[in-house]
Copies of this chain bind each other. A is one copy, B any other.
Amino acid sequence: MCKAEHIKTFLRGIGAIAVSEAKLRFTSDGLKVSAVDPANVAMIHATIDRTAMDVYSAPEEELVVGIDVARLYEMAKGFKDKEPVELIVEDSRIKLKNKNLTYSVALIDPNAIRKEPKLPEMDLPMKVVLGIDSFKQAVQAANKISDHVILRCDGDKFYIEAKGYVDAIKTIFDDTELIEFVKAEAKTMFSIEYLLEFCKAGNKLDIIDIRLGTDYPGFFSFRDSAVELLYVLAPRIENV
């Protein structure tokens, strides 16, 4: 049992990369979903932390069930953000339930669902932590003139920039504006469309933790104390 907003953010985060069916794991750490988007450009590792749940009776062995992400999200939206909601698995159905309202839907056979991805191990030297709003603003600005954006660190400052045919846009962050900043040279181009989807999904969370190399996939972890949406996004190749 946890607040409806956590369940909504969790499901919304998975849906952000167009994943329609997913394996939901009840682990000793909390609820977990790992999934890859249909285009194989992004993956998500989403978690609702066990500590965010008032009551959490996971079975001895880890339980894995198949869920229809969009359908369950649609139902979760019927509950108010601060309302406590129970998420129950019984009789091959998953239920969302508060005092008055019960919603139930048939589970999907987990074997019919695409294999869960592993988190890639990579050496990403640069790290910044900032407010989600600041990141979103910079990406939205870039979106006005291009459909891809360059995230870059010259070892001193962190840049989010884009170039159009006649115009250019650049947002600069230095130590004073970043919650955390591990400086290292890094530069990667990403699709703005994906980044904006992540931002929309992570909207109600607090911070974003970005890890970056050069032309490597980037790690974008949107989180607060209850929910983490960790996206790994493939780079786009720059035409030089």
Contacts and interface: CB of A to CB of B under 8 A. Distances in A.
Interface of A: 71, 74-75, 78, 100-106, 137-138, 140-141, 144, 166-173, 177
A170 B98 CA distance: 11
30 contacts: A71-B167, A74-B144, A75-B144, A75-B167, A75-B169, A78-B137, A78-B141, A78-B144, A100-B138, A100-B171, A100-B173, A100-B177, A101-B137, A101-B138, A101-B169, A101-B170, A101-B172, A102-B169, A102-B170, A102-B171, A103-B141, A103-B167, A103-B168, A103-B170, A104-B167, A104-B168, A104-B169, A105-B167, A106-B166, A106-B167
Contact of A172 (B100, B103, B137, B172): B100
A101 B166 contact: no
Nearest to A99: B172
Contacts of A166: 105-106
Number of copies: 3
Contacts of A141: 75, 78, 101, 103
Contacts of A103: 141, 167-170
A104 B164 CA distance: 10
A101 B166 CA distance: 17
A136 to B, nearest CB: 11
A147 to B, nearest CB: 15
Nearest to A140: B78
A149 B92 CA distance: 24
Contacts of A138: 100-101
Contacts of A101: 137-138, 141, 169-172
Nearest to A137: B78
